[in-house]
Structure 1
Amino acid sequence: MVVGVTVGFVFAAERRQLILEMVRANGAVSLRELARVVQTSEVTVRRDVRALEAEGLLDRRHGGAVLPGGFTRESGFPQKSHLATAEKTAIADLAASFVDEGEAVVVGAGTTTQELARRLARVPGLTVVTNSLLVAQALAHANRVEVVMTGGTLRGSNYALVGSGAEQSLQGLRVSRAFLSGSGLTAERGLSTSNMLSASVDRALVQAAAEVVVLADHTKLGTDTMFQTVPTDVITRLVTDEPPAHDDRAATELQALADQGVHISVAGPGAGSGSPTGAVHGDADRQARRRDVPPLPGQRRSLPLGHGQPPGTVQGGPPGAQLRSAVALGDQATARVADLAPRRR
């Protein structure tokens, strides 16, 4: 639970002091959580965060606020686990649907991948290779899932194994796909992180996989950090949540990633609000099925994500068409998925 105090009406100065105290206590807090605690709108909170940033007291991030110097420093696991929690849950639900029985996958370190691992525990015959103690812990009691840990040196801030030992243990490995998270994602540089050792291991994980699936909530879209882990042209699919209607930059980044050839799947209760112009919403008949949008003629074709796709796959339209369909995943009957068809490579 994010450290904070529920309050009634407060003046701007008091409200901003509360916001500052929450960010200092947690390292990173979403705008949604800040608005809930100080009992005001996200628009007002965003204005407060801008004012505090102008004073050098905190840094803005898409969908949240962090302590100053967030570009060069990395929040620890306790701070990250409180940021965009609902979005991470929806992303993990959808990402798990791309994994079939009997597959072998690699799962990197991160709070979103930890959520994914909890869902992968229900996939029989799965083999998961990971450098994350949190991922391994989430799968520890899954009788039908085999967990393979890399070697390496423990990095306490995110409970991950890093260094030459981790990288060497991945040599010669080949799996169907890698699921990775990171600190930021842009169309220009791809996935990045603020730690050099973590970036190096993530690159080794990518080398072991035929496909790369990035899990990143909307707060990471448009954020660029120090060390590149996965270039955009290597990313097969991005699984994310729907950016808020006011977050034009995140929506623009999503379209730019689609233009680069990345298949984008958007999941969560908020999918559909603030969607890019031209999106085609799924009808009721499609709400119980996942649809993968194939690339248009002349574009890069990735390997299919999951075998035995349901019949009736949506076909690509004219260049620039964006296709959207709805999905019900287990108990997440209201979840939705948006697939943006890439325009060109």
Structure 2
Amino acid sequence: MFAAERRQLILEMVRANGAVSLRELARVVQTSEVTVRRDVRALEAEGLLDRRHGGAVLPGGFTRESGFPQKSHLATAEKTAIADLAAGLVTEGEAVVVGAGTTTQELARRLARVPGLTVVTNSLLVAQALAHANRVEVVMTGGTLRGSNYALVGSGAEQSLQGLRVSRAFLSGSGLTAERGLSTSNMLSASVDRALVQAAAEVVVLADHTKLGTDTMFQTVPTDIITRLVTDEPSAHDDRAETELQALADRGVQITVAGGSSANEAPPEAGRPPERGRRDVPMPAPRRNPPPGSGGSGAPPPTQLRASGASPMDGPKPHRVADLAPRRR
């Protein structure tokens, strides 16, 4: 395929979906991510699209939010791997909050197999995924329906969360940076996500590599409040993603990275992590002091970066992950 043909196809995909990852573009045009990145730069120079970390969006994408049909076709294999690992953090009998999003919808499908679970959500899609689950209680917020992502928002949703307390919240968003944390393009969604966070003792962010380093209008979860990030493995040439993960680790966020996996793998049994191979990522980081209110008197002992055999969170431990441990200063 000639360069002009590739670039025309790339432009058509971005126009159709609003945002497309470099990985997906490379797969469709049957070339390397390096070549696709060069094509995206050329199209950006012509003003036809905007580059975003790990992908491309329509011009003005900083404020634009893709609808559910577009998002559901982006980074599907990555979202599956992330959901597999996140489900391994949940144990029988827990009460959790699950926010709106396509990645959290994938998580909900796996949580349907965890007995005795209580899930609080403002997402119709999450509730639908759990509707026929045995011994899983679903509690929905009130609020006004946003048709673009099938989520309940507004004062009714926020008020229904007052006085609620759960073990952890699972949230997604439009972008994640070490500087601002999780963010989204819609003010109403951001407000409800902040209310969901207030109800949880721990906050787990689910974000695929295309969202790392992307900053959008409305902050939902500051970095210092994020307990853990579950993401997928960036490509070998994606230095920016590795840098952003390092910066998040430096800020005290536990990083769990899903290694490459087949989209045809069967999901793990309820309460059990997926069986995958080890993966080591040579990314040590400086250790910071614990955040205020954590109760710690100093930094915990330094650990080397390793394939995770133990997680600081309760519940089953995923196997094909890498925990980014900060270095001693």
Q: TM-score range by the shorter chain?
A: 0.7 to 0.9
Q: Which residue of 2 aligns with 1:325?
A: 308
Residue of structure 1 aligned with 2:151, choices 133, 151, 160:
160
TM-score (norm 1): 0.82
Alpha-carbon separation, structure 1, partners of 2:319 and 2:8 = 36
Measure how far apart 1:127 and its partner are. 0.3
1:211 aligns with 2:217: no
1:61 aligns with 2:45: no
Structure 1 residue runs of 4 or more that deviate by more than 4 Å after TM superposition: 270-274, 295-298, 300-303
Residue of structure 2 aligned with 1:223, choices 214, 220, 238:
214
Amino acid at match of 1:275: V
Measure how far apart 1:82 and its partner are. 1.4
Alpha-carbon separation, structure 1, partners of 2:180 and 2:107 = 24
- List per-residue Cα deviations over 1:160-214 (Å, max 9, x = no partner): 0000000000001000000000001111111000100000000000000010000
1:198 aligns with 2:177: no
SS for the counterpart of 2:142 is coil
Measure how far apart 1:296 and its partner are. 7.1
SS for the counterpart of 2:229 is strand
Measure how far apart 1:62 and its partner are. 2.2
Alpha-carbon separation, structure 2, partners of 1:26 and 1:41 = 21
Aligned Cα root-mean-square deviation (Å): 2.5
- List per-residue Cα deviations over 1:86-132 (Å, max 9, x = no partner): 11100000000000101000000000000000000000000000000
Structure 2: runs of 5+ lacking an equivalent: 262-276, 295-299, 311-317
Q: Which residue of 1 aligns with 2:314?
A: none
Residue of structure 2 aligned with 1:91, choices 37, 61, 82:
82
Equivalenced residues, count: 302
Q: Which residue of 2 aligns with 1:71?
A: 62
Q: Which residue of 1 aligns with 2:264?
A: none
- After TM superposition, the structure 1 = structure 2 runs for residues 168-187 of structure 1, keeping only pairs within 5 Å, are 168-187=159-178
Structure 1: runs of 5+ lacking an equivalent: 1-9, 280-294, 304-315, 328-333
Distance 1:50 1:41, change over 3 A: same
1:12 aligns with 2:3: yes
Distance 1:297 1:194, change over 3 A: closer
Q: Which residue of 2 aligns with 1:307?
A: none
Amino acid at match of 2:95: A
1:127 aligns with 2:133: no
Identity of aligned residues (%): 87
- After TM superposition, the structure 1 = structure 2 runs for residues 293-308 of structure 1, keeping only pairs within 5 Å, are 299-300=290-291
Distance 1:178 1:221, change over 3 A: same
1:337 aligns with 2:328: no
SS for the counterpart of 1:143 is coil
TM-score (norm 2): 0.85
SS for the counterpart of 2:182 is strand
